């Protein structure tokens, strides 16, 4: 009978330990460390989501790896005092917390940080202040900029995720204020209807009528990357980050572009799995990718801890290749051997590497009163099932969705790297959106989404670059490749009213139907890996 012969590890824990910031605000943290030995390096994790987030932090593995662990609530959240201001205070607060840790008798003067999403942003923002003692960061699924790729994509407002995250943070703020003895009845009166019926909230026009979210008016009234966003960008200066950073991304994560850009700017190991923002398991959306596709299967947690200890020996880049459903090590991202290949959008609906002869454009009418619904993709919406690869056949029946499809593939075709669509198109409206979606059509007819993008324009006619970010997808023999083109993806993105004004300024009765034309010299650029 096996005997593990594991000795006990005595621990010391402190709950709600006060940590003073430079302005006198007290932030509170839970401290965990071995009761014997030391001093220890420290893993710091900072969260705006309350105590429940801490249950997902690998505290025991970190302790077993020799770390002390500090789990801190951001200001205005959990047990911490102060007012929560998204992204503004995380750099200096992280800096001050690291200074406090390194001054403790149980600290050896070395701190590392990790986290996912906003928590990873906290780590990168702290790193940008260059605090003495910070040695490494693991940043998982986090944006590189607070305007581009977070609140706006291709110029369109990321309505669904902004509304979802904003209502969550508003609720957490009200709970925090209520615990401090403040009257929060009016605040809950504004926010509860949106929590109960987020679909109705998303259809509100003008968007400026949405209340209850403290920062909402700032987000919607600054569609361009102006001084408001630049001030926030100064809190995440990549050129000031000197510590090594490991990056973890998901092919179906809302912040895939941000994580890839963080990696491009900062270097460090990169891992990309077939995951969404909230799951690193074996399946996403309507597809399963096999047991070995999960983060647990590749021992990602163990590798992250090894990286934080300075002991990582893993590959520079590790990606999951969907379709083949295998992990593959790469020397760099994107793979240099990928060949950018144009597939042209023919007026008869064919998608082909052959350029079309001159032909008339394909036309459709987009009515923003009946937008194309969001079905799958890199999402962060209230419905956790509407994410990742989803069957697009019902969407493709709409008259305002154009489909361009290859012949049946006679052999496997691997697409790994950045993907974009160049659309030559025109509109009758004062402003419009152009959307594109890459789809894997299975032999049984399922049209499974791979990745999508959007661009907003006020130009009546011209060429528009739609960034679909990136993927690693093998389109198998017997499958077909499809590109969908339309003018909305709602509520992932807000509707373009067609008025030349934003949806923050336009009432529902002012929405303008948009008569669209897509010309046959449009194409998608696929990075094809030779086989």
Q: Which domains does the chain have, with CATH numbers?
A: 11-147+231-330 (3.40.50.1820), 157-230 (no CATH), 339-529 (2.60.120.260)
Question: How many of the other CB atoms lie within 10 Å of CB of 295?
Answer: 20
Longest dimension (CA), the chain: 78
Can you list the residues of the chain whose pLDDT is less than 70? none
Residue matched to tokens 């006020």: 458
CA torsion 205-209-210-213 (nearest 10°) is 150
Does an H or E element contain 229, and which? helix 227-233
Given the residues 148, 253, 452, 494, select the one marked as catalytic. Answer: 253
Question: Phi then psi for 470, rounded to 5 degrees?
Answer: -170, 165
Q: Give the whole-angstrom CA distance, residue 95 versus residue 98.
A: 5
Which residues are within 8 A (CB) of 365 and not within 5 positions of it... i.e. 6 or more apart? 399, 400, 513, 514, 515, 516
Catalytic residue selected from 80, 107, 114, 117: 117
| From 73, 277, 344, 346, active-site residue | 277
Q: What is the C-alpha to C-alpha distance for residues 95 and 131, in angstroms, rounded to an integer? A: 5
**253 counts as catalytic:** yes
**What pLDDT, on a 0 to 100 scale, did the predictor assign at position 246?**
98
Residue 293 to residue 295: CA distance in whole angstroms: 7
Question: Which pTM does this prediction carry?
Answer: 0.97
The total of other beta-carbon atoms located within 10 Å of residue 52's CB is 9
DSSP state for residue 389 in the 8-state scheme? S
Q: Which segments of 104-184 does DSSP mark as H helices, in order?
A: 118-127, 159-179
Residue 222 a catalytic site member:
no
pLDDT at 98: 98
Which of 191, 259, 229 has its CA nearest to residue 87?
Answer: 229
The pair of structure tokens assigned to 314 is: 């893993």
* Closest of 279, 249, 242 to residue 263, by C-alpha: 249
User: Is 114 a known active-site residue?
Assistant: no
Residue 307, Cβ neighbours under 10 Å: how many? 22
Directed axis angle between helix 159-179 and helix 185-196, to 10°? 150
């Amino acid at each position: 009978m096996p005997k593990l012969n594991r000795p006990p590890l005595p621990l010391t824990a402190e709950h709600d330990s006060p940590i003073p910031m430079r302005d006198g605000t007290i932030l509170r943290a839970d401290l965990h460390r071995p009761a014997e030995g030391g001093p220890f390096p420290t893993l710091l994790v900072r969260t705006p989501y309350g105590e429940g987030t801490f249950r997902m932090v690998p505290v025991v593995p970190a302790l077993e790896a020799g770390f002390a662990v500090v789990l801190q609530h951001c200001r205005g959240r959990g047990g911490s005092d102060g007012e929560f201001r998204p992204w503004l205070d995380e750099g200096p607060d992280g800096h001050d917390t690291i200074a406090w840790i390194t001054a403790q008798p149980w600290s050896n003067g070395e701190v590392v940080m990790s986290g996912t999403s906003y928590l990873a942003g906290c780590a990168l923002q702290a790193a940008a202040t260059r605090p003495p003692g910070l040695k490494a960061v693991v940043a998982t699924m986090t944006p590189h900029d607070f305007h581009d790729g977070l609140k706006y994509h291709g110029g369109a407002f990321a309505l669904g995720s902004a509304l979802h995250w904003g209502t969550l943070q508003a609720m957490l703020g009200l709970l925090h204020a209520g615990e401090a003895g403040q009257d929060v009845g009016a605040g809950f009166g504004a926010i509860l209807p949106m929590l109960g019926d987020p679909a109705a909230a998303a259809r509100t026009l003008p968007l400026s009528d949405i209340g209850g979210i403290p920062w909402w008016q700032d987000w919607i009234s600054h569609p361009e990357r102006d001084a408001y966003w630049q001030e926030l960008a100064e809190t995440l200066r990549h050129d000031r980050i000197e510590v090594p950073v490991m990056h973890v991304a998901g092919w179906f994560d809302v912040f895939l572009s941000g994580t890839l850009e963080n990696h491009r700017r900062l270097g460090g190991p990169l891992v990309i799995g077939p995951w969404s923002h909230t799951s690193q398991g074996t399946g996403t959306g309507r597809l399963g990718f096999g047991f070995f596709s999960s983060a647990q299967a590749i021992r990602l947690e163990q590798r992250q801890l090894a990286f934080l200890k300075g002991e990582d020996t893993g590959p520079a880049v590790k990606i999951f290749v969907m379709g083949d459903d295998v992990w593959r090590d790469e020397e760099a991202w994107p793979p240099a051997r990928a060949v950018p290949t144009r597939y042209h959008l023919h007026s008869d609906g064919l998608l082909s590497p052959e350029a079309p002869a001159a032909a008339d454009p394909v036309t459709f009418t987009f009515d923003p009163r009946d937008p194309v619904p969001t079905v799958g993709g890199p999402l962060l919406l209230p419905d956790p099932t509407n994410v990742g690869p989803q069957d697009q056949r019902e969407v493709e029946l709409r008259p305002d969705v154009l489909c361009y499809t290859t012949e049946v593939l006679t052999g496997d075709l691997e697409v790994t790297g950045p993907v974009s669509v160049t659309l030559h198109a025109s509109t009758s409206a004062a402003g419009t959106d152009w959307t594109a979606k890459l789809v894997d059509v299975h032999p049984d007819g399922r049209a499974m989404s791979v990745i999508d993008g959007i661009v907003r324009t006020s130009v009546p006619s011209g060429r528009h670059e739609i960034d679909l970010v990136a993927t690693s997808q093998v389109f198998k023999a017997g499958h077909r490749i499809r590109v969908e083109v339309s003018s909305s993806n709602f509520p992932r993105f807000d509707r373009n009213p067609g008025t030349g004004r934003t949806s923050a300024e336009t009432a529902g009765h002012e929405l303008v139907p948009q008569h669209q034309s897509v010309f046959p010299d449009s194409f998608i650029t696929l990075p094809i890996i030779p086989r």
